[in-house]
Amino acid sequence: MAFRTKLIEYMKNSFNKKYMFEILNTNTCSEKYIEVENGVKLHITDTGTGQPVVLIPGLPMSDEIFKFTYDALVANGYRAIGITLRGFGKSDSAPQYNINLHARDLHVVLTTLELENVTLAGYSYGGSIAAYFIARYKPKNVIQLILISANVPSYIQRDNYPYGLTEEAFNEVIALSQTNLKEMVDVYGPLFQLEKVFMPLLLGNWITGINLQASQEAVTQGLIILRELDLRPLLSQIEIPTTIFHDKNDKTVPFELAEQTLLGIKNSKLVTFTQGGHWFIFTEIQKFNEELLKAITIYPGTFKTLPIVD
């Protein structure tokens, strides 16, 4: 609760450096490691009790980026679980990376933790993995999907699909990950295009520091996965309720992708944001947390509606 109180004060003070520094240096969550295959362990944040909300970060982030959301979930009676993908953050690197392995890793974690009635939320690249996992595995223990600034259905323009980035432009990003990883993962750099007017350097540099924990190979292979991944044929296989969160001004993952996802998933709805582009989970943290809680509690008989705690 103390962390949540500081967070509300932080928002009221419009990125006041004192409060920001306290929040970024506060750790109120329990951590563990889960072995997903021989010699490969993933870092997991697992805090709170109640219905589980599983959060998957984007590329090349760790689950630490959900620091601002964990406490809001716990304060409202939920169990918050963050999964850092292989090769990122404190998770082990691996000899290979592909979408099937990420989906299998997610299956192993959910099974190991014996989770039921799961809300699965994926941010950016994590959204692609979450959507693929639901379509391919059709897990009975996941009852709801939330896609946050997700690279779904396809991040790359294709035949009869003029949305997203051109393959030529994205190949330049892949090449940059091989020659200058620091520039590529910088939130103020050419890929993520965060505007300093929306987020101060202290917070932006904290996120970049998390990004720099990732292995170069995991980043490059993750980008190649995004280049090759086309989920359009699989969207109709996602049958559980799906909420799509996206900023209309997202320069990293264009808003038009969210619109295509909305058309492709039958039981879906779209919640829009307007400040911070790809980074509204930070720049509009209060609205994001409130909308996340609304999405979780909207289905009667599964979740108990709880007030948003300030």
Give catalytic status of residue 278 as yes or no. Answer: yes
Give catalytic status of residue 250 as yes or no. Answer: yes
Burial tier of 10 (Cβ tally within 10 Å: 0-12, 13-18, 19+): buried
Separation of alpha carbons 41 and 30, rounded Å: 16
Give catalytic status of residue 46 as yes or no. Answer: no
Separation of alpha carbons 164 and 256, rounded Å: 8
Given 3-state DSSP classes, what are the helix, strand and coil percentages for the chain, each rounded to the nearest 5? 45, 15, 40
Question: Collapsing DSSP states into helix, strand and coil, what is residue 1?
Answer: coil
According to DSSP H, which parts of the chain are helical? 2-12, 17-24, 67-75, 99-112, 125-137, 167-179, 181-185, 201-211, 216-228, 255-264, 280-283, 285-297
- The catalytically annotated residue of 62, 124, 128, 149 is 124
- The catalytically annotated residue of 71, 102, 250, 268 is 250
The single-letter code of the amino acid at 153 is P
| Residue the block writes with tokens 């980008």 | 223
The catalytic residues are 124, 250, 278
